[in-house]
Chain A
Amino acid sequence: MSDALTDRVLRVIAATQRLPMESVTPDKSFEELGIDSMDGVNILFALESEFDISIPDEEARGIQTVGAMIEGVRRLADAAPK
């Protein structure tokens, strides 16, 4: 599924990881993209700034794919006061 939120998350991940946009797709795992735990923390930081949300450690811990990250951000962004 492609929408504005998905594109923003993909863009943040690509920019943070210095990866070409086209290589970051929702079906990719962090492992496939070479994203380790410290990279993951960097991405969370960038997403928190991009969406003005706070991503709790418990929510972040199990996320291992780009798709799961998009859905996690969507949940928090929807819950955030508009």
Chain B
Amino acid sequence: MRRVAVTGIGAICGIGHNRHEFWSSLRTGASGIAPVREVDMSELRFANGAEVQHYRPADHFSEKQCDFMDRFAQFAVIAAREAAADSGIQWTSELRENSAIVTGSCVGGQATEDQGFQAIYKEGRNRVHPLTIPKTMANAGASHISMELRITGPSFTFSTACASSTHAIGHAFWMVRSGAVDLALAGGSEAPFSFGILRAWEAMRVVSPDTCRPFSKDRTGMILGEGAAMLVLEPLEAALARGAAVYGEIAGFGMSADAAHITQPSPGGAAQAMRMALRDARLNPEQIGYINAHGTGTLANDAAETTAIRQLFGPHAGRLAVSSTKSMHGHGLGAAGAFEASATLLALRHAVLPPTANYREADPDCDLDVIPNVARELAVEYALSNSFAFGGLNAVLAFRAHTT
């Protein structure tokens, strides 16, 4: 089996328009959580989110292109362009045939649908825009990336709520590792800031009225985020042969289902997914030095995730560094796993672990070393990135630092 390297990263989200800004924010612990501007929040129980700041579609796309793309698909293409350029890959027609695109999205283009439904239900119009379907479909991100980069290999989309892009990256990793494809662009994108979608999140009573404070005793819930992140995956040997810069390796991937409750997290399912990722990577728990946690900032998740980590890692849990970067880029839903895989790879590459921002007070139910508020300079060889979705569908990636 091949080893799989990540040679390109693209990111656009609440803490940066590209991977440089993204990393600079993570490293300095700068949160992108702020009052939402795209939607009138005056009637909602929460006001804050992690929006892409000052986003102007015209900076990236022609008017005609914008007509065909929901915001979530635009983000997907912007991140894919950046990742592909970063990798320095030279496209040939053969490589285009042997490259995969695997994306994740939770709500897809529901914002477009929301507008269309508002027109018929509220404004009494008798039709919706003819592009509503192609703009709404969750695979639109993958489709637009394929057209943009003229990649003709296997392309598809996962929609497993908050684990979508971790499932996407994991399956892309398996395809490159097995030799099914020679390259993959994998990640996720999301743009949930639309009134109807926000109302639905409000009704679940899981969104914080102020900010996201993962693992902090005074945490009050999650904060929604938007954007996209994409990775370029290729065989390590091929990457080194062409002299590419390597961020790190994907070493393993694990999945599980809680089979318990549609929204409440179960420590057993989370621990099982981490165990499967370690098994796939042929690692012992003691080899892991850092976990980029799912860490949503809800009461339930952070306590359950702590229990899961303690269950699996035993005494080593006390020596692990764990942080939730959702405290900065928000919960990107279907893009979350891709933000966090990117954060983890950049952390390994720079030997700096990003902090858990907005942290205030230790919680006995979350008694891990959560890197409170300030990044830590620490070289780590192996790391995990956790994604635990509503519906109890869990996905975990294992990464290995690349040393030259």
Contact = CB atoms under 8 A, between A and B. Distances in A.
Interface stretch (B125-133, B256-264, B310-318): B256-264
Interface stretch (A24-32, A37-45, A72-80): A37-45
B262 A57 contact: no
B264 A37 contact: yes
A41 B261 contact: no
A60 interface: yes
B205 A57 contact: yes
A12 to B, nearest CB: 16
Given A38-B262, A41-B203, A57 B209 contact: yes
Given A38-B263, A38-B264, A57 B203 contact: no
Interface in A2-56: 36-38, 41, 44-45, 56
A41 B45 contact: no
B147 interface: no
A37 B220 CA distance: 15
Interface in B211-243: 220
Nearest to A55: B205
B300 interface: yes
B1 interface: no
Which of B204, B205, B262, B264 is most buried by chain A, counting CB atoms within 10 A of its CB?
A: B205
B402 to A, nearest CB: 42
A8 to B, nearest CB: 21
Interface residues of A, number: 9
Contact of A36 (B45, B220, B261): B261
A38 B209 contact: no
Nearest to B300: A37
Contacts of B205: 41, 44, 57, 60
Interface residues of B, number: 11
A12 B263 CA distance: 22
B264 A36 contact: yes
Interface string B176-218: 0000000000000000000000000001110001000000000
Interface in B263-284: 263-264
Contacts of A36: 261, 264
A45 B45 CA distance: 14
B45 A57 contact: yes
Interface in B36-73: 45
Nearest to A38: B263
A62 to B, nearest CB: 12
Nearest to A56: B45
A41 B262 CA distance: 13
B203 A38 contact: no
Contacts of A45: 203
Contacts of A60: 205
B337 to A, nearest CB: 23
A41 B204 contact: yes
Given A44-B205, A45-B203, A57-B209, A38 B45 contact: no
Contacts of A44: 205
B298 to A, nearest CB: 10
Contacts of A56: 45
B218 to A, nearest CB: 12
Nearest to A36: B264
A57 B261 CA distance: 22
A29 B173 CA distance: 48
Nearest to A42: B203
Nearest to A40: B205
A60 B261 CA distance: 21
Interface of A: 36-38, 41, 44-45, 56-57, 60
6 contacts: A36-B264, A38-B261, A41-B203, A45-B203, A56-B45, A60-B205
A-B interface, 10 closest residue pairs, ranked by CB to CB distance from nearest: A38-B263, A41-B205, A57-B205, A41-B204, A45-B203, A36-B264, A37-B264, A38-B264, A57-B45, A37-B300
Given A36-B261, A56-B45, A57-B209, 4 more contacts: A38-B262, A38-B264, A41-B204, A60-B205
